[in-house]
Every structure is written in structure tokens, then in C-alpha cells.
Structure 1
Amino acid sequence: MSRATAAYERLTDAMLETDPECQNDGRFVLDDQPAHTLSYICRACPLFDLCRDYAEIERPKGGVWAGKRYSSNSKAGTDE
């Protein structure tokens, strides 16, 4: 099992018991929403550490993860 898969499984397992603060909030997937305007929501989320761990390993192809924006045209999260 890859590190990314293991991190994702830990995150999804935790989501079975705790809803992430970003759930059903479309701003986390919009490209025009700066990550810094959402980071306060991420910091308050009980799943922040698991989300950050996954995102740092996997570098998702889009969205805001643990207060950082990821996109298909960047290799690292940004605070835009």
C-alpha cells in the first residue's frame, strides 16, 4: 500500500465518524476562491491533520486541502 493510499484511508475512515468542516461547501473546489480566505475553516476542522497529511503526500489535482490550494497545473499547494 502506498503512503498516499494509507493517508487517504486514514482520512476517509475518520470521515465516517466526523464530518469535515468543508463538507458541502463549494468554495473549496472553486478555482477563484483564494485559499487564505478558507484557511480559518480548515484550521478549526477536527480532520485538519489527516487532510494535511494526505494532501502533502498526494498533491491533489484540485481544491483546497488543509488550507492550501492544489491544482492540476501546480506541483505544490499554494496559499493563493
Structure 2
Amino acid sequence: MILTGFPRIAVDPAVCGGRPTLAGTRMRVTDVLEMLAGGATAAQIAADFPYISEDDVRAVLAYAAGLADHPVVLAAE
């Protein structure tokens, strides 16, 4: 299933245990984020994995930003 608002991100219980992936691939969103966190550029990732594009990498970042955009509630001390 393609996620609403994120046409390049898909979730399918039969693919990667239902973890979000780039649509049409088995490349998990977390795989791309870990590569970026490790210092890889979008161009390097696209070159290493020719079945994804730099636009796919940017879509992963947009999806992650959307997930992180929520208030954090802390318990009172």
C-alpha cells in the first residue's frame, strides 16, 4: 500500500516485515536513513543502488520529517 502523502513510500506486510520501503523495492526507509546518517550523499546512494533515485532519497527524508513532527510529552518530575 502506498502511503497517503508519500507516493514513493510503501508498506506491505509481505515485504520486509511490513516496514516502510521505497515503493517497488525492498529498500527500507531505515536503510536509506542509516546510510545518510553515516555520511553518504543522495547521489552516492543512488549510484550504489541504481534501482532508486536521488528523488527517492529525498522522499525518505520527507517521510522521516513527517514522522518526527509531533509533540513530545514528558512526565512531570
TM-score, normalized by the shorter chain, greater than 0.5: no
TM-score (norm 2): 0.32
Pick 1 or 2: higher relative contact order, CA cutoff 8 A, min separation 6: 1
Q: Which has the larger radius of gyration?
A: 2
